[in-house]
Chains A and B, each alone.
Chain A
Amino acid sequence: MSAFLVRRLLTLAATLLAASLVIFVVVEVLPGDPARTILGPEADPEAVAALRVRLGLERPPAARYLAWVGGLLGGEFGVSYTYHVPIGGLLAERLAITLPLAAVAMALTTAIALSAGVYAAARRGSAGDVAVMALTQLGIAVPGFWFAILLILLFAVELGWFPAGGFAGWDAGIGAALRSLVLPAIALALVQAAILARVTRSAVIEVLDEDFMRTARAKGLSRRAALWRHGLRNALVAVVTVMGLQFANLTAGAVVLENVFALPGLGRLAFQAISQRDLQLVRDVVLLFAVVVVAVNFLVDLLYAVIDPRVKLSA
């Protein structure tokens, strides 16, 4: 394993440690008593106090933090106060919706953005370029959740091609499950695709002006072939950076869109956990979001090294 990889893994661990501390502190500060959440507002104060002791809430914060993190590392997530099921299973179940949703959305974003961005860059200044730029400007201004509602109006209410909301479940077959993810993924992808298309366009334009592109043409490659063989990979360095940031945006956008489509994903779980004051669940869900974001950043760093041989040296 290279020093590069070790260094990145250490950074990843340190970031997660910092994130877990911040999340623990924030949730500590939040009002609400888990014991009271479990027993209900009319419960006997003595019973609440007893439960607090049993749940370990009377221990000092440091001990509780260590117990929490230790439990997570040991695969022991505890039981949700409000759902009365093991949190580990609950998270896995919800992640099985949010992760595919984000992945499909990211794939859509990438496909749309790269083709539109490269198209516009290759025809800089043409009517096609102007049209792409205008559309992306519009795409950035459209709220994702409103676009989602429009999609529902057209494809669910009018045409009936896709469900207006809810999740068929993976048990219903991959086709049915994916069908419930199509509209949310499109809605999620729109804004990000508009942003990424603009980034791609300027990255490609920058690369087109590089000396090595002229060399590629001097070898006898056509404009198009030079762009595909030599230009795109160089432009990808900038594009991948933004894609990493966008994946974080996509998970955040999923929180809103899962509510639009009533998808029982991680975002909806976070929303519900907070409104029900299920603090232990809140802590784990928010940390899981952080893990996803940090893991994606780690992958982006690895991708850099794959794309650009110079990265290993400078790291």
Chain B
Amino acid sequence: MMGSSRGASTASLWVGGGLVGVVIAAALVSLAWTPHPPTAMALSERLQGPSAVHWLGTDHFGRDVATLLMAGARTSIVVGVIAVGLGFVIGVALGVLAAARRGWLDELVMRLCDITFALPAVLSAILLTAWLGPGPATAIVAIGVFNIPVFARIARGAALTIWPREFILAARVAGKGAFRITLEHVLPNIASVLLVQATIQFAIAILAEAALSYLGIGTQPPAPSWGRMLNEAQTFMYLAPGLAVYPGLAIVIAVLGLNLLGDGLRDALDPRLARGR
């Protein structure tokens, strides 16, 4: 029983890592080389099926779908990394601060998290669009803001389990302040929990970016984006159903890979967490 679950967690680590690796590789390669130029339109070659020249066919502007998918990976990763990074830095800072200070500050941070959670994230994103206008920045801010309370809660919860430990007591007796203790002892001890959560949040961010771009309030044309491609594909669904399939598959590969990677990391980094699930 134990043996098989350990085997499963190693498998998720490898499969997840492999899928994520493919997506990252596609994004990196697209910086230097793509099968066709990403914005090259050829109206004479629009809505073609897969062929030796266009591996996955062409879209309604005659752009190469495989090229767009590779470039779209770049967009997803960039938006995801910045948005999750934003939420991570602010959220973790708030969380460990709340755990270190407790009292009214803790209460305030947690209530703010509750309020952010109360509004549906998509609605907040749309509200934000009314303010900032559509664009990748809007998507990044909307997703990032949604990530702040997630990381704040996780960081606070994990930090609270660290503070009562003996080595913290020893550090306090040695005269170290709350800031230094947080930096030197708390953060290194909650890093693995945060890393696992960041992987999962990255997956959610990719889904969110796709949804926002699909709605037309995220990445704007001509910048390539998986969500945007799906929006355009829906219009030509009757003529070229394949166009509506590939970008979705790309999203599934990225998200599935990140989720599996997160599960595998959780089991690998902290067996106690794995058992708690």
Binding site for B on A (CB under 8 A): 15, 18-19, 22, 26, 29-32, 125, 137-138, 140-147, 149-150, 152-153, 157, 164, 202, 248-249, 251-253, 255-256, 259-260, 267, 270-271, 274-275, 277, 282, 286, 289-290, 293-294
- Taking a contact as CB atoms under 8 Å apart, the answer to whether A31 and B130 are in contact is yes
Return chain A residues, CB-CB under 8 Å to B211. 143-145, 256
Main secondary structure of the interface of B (DSSP, over half): helix
Q: Interface residue count for B (Cβ, 8 Å)?
A: 38
Q: Which of B4, B115, B255 contacts A141 (CB 8 A)?
A: B255
Q: Which of B46-60 contact A (CB under 8 A)?
A: none
A-B contact pairs, 16 of them (CB 8 A): A138-B252, A140-B255, A140-B259, A141-B252, A142-B248, A143-B210, A143-B227, A143-B255, A149-B234, A149-B244, A150-B244, A152-B234, A153-B244, A252-B120, A255-B123, A294-B118
User: What residue of chain A has the Cβ atom nearest to residue B247's Cβ?
Assistant: A146
Q: Do B230 and A271 touch (CB < 8 A)?
A: no
Expressed in whole angstroms, the minimum distance between the Cβ of B246 and any Cβ of chain A is 10
**Nearest chain A CB to B199 CB, angstrom units:** 13
In the assembled complex, the Cα of A267 lies from the Cα of B125 at a distance in Å of 13
User: How far apart are the CA atoms of A273 and B94 in the complex, in Å?
Assistant: 34
| Contact for B131 among A15, A31, A255, CB less than 8 A | A31
| C-alpha gap A164/B203 in the complex (Å) | 29
* Chain B neighbourhood of A277, CB < 8 A: 130
Known: A125-B1, A253-B122, A289-B123. 9 other contacts (CB 8 A): A31-B130, A145-B210, A145-B214, A146-B244, A152-B234, A152-B237, A255-B120, A255-B122, A294-B118
- Given A30-B130, A146-B248, A286 and B119 touching (CB < 8 A)? yes
Please report the C-alpha to C-alpha distance between residue A102 and residue B234 in the assembled complex, in whole angstroms. Answer: 23
Q: Are B119 and A290 in touch, CB under 8 angstroms?
A: yes
Name, among B122, B230, B256, the residue most crowded by chain A CB atoms within 10 Å (CB to CB): B122
Residue of B at shortest CB range from A198? B277
Q: In the complex, which residues 219-235 of chain B have their Cβ closer than 8 Å to any Cβ of chain A?
A: 227, 230, 233-234
Across-interface contacts of B255 in A (CB, < 8 A) = 140-143
Question: Given A125-B1, A271-B215, are A141 and B203 neighbors across the interface (CB < 8 Å)?
Answer: yes
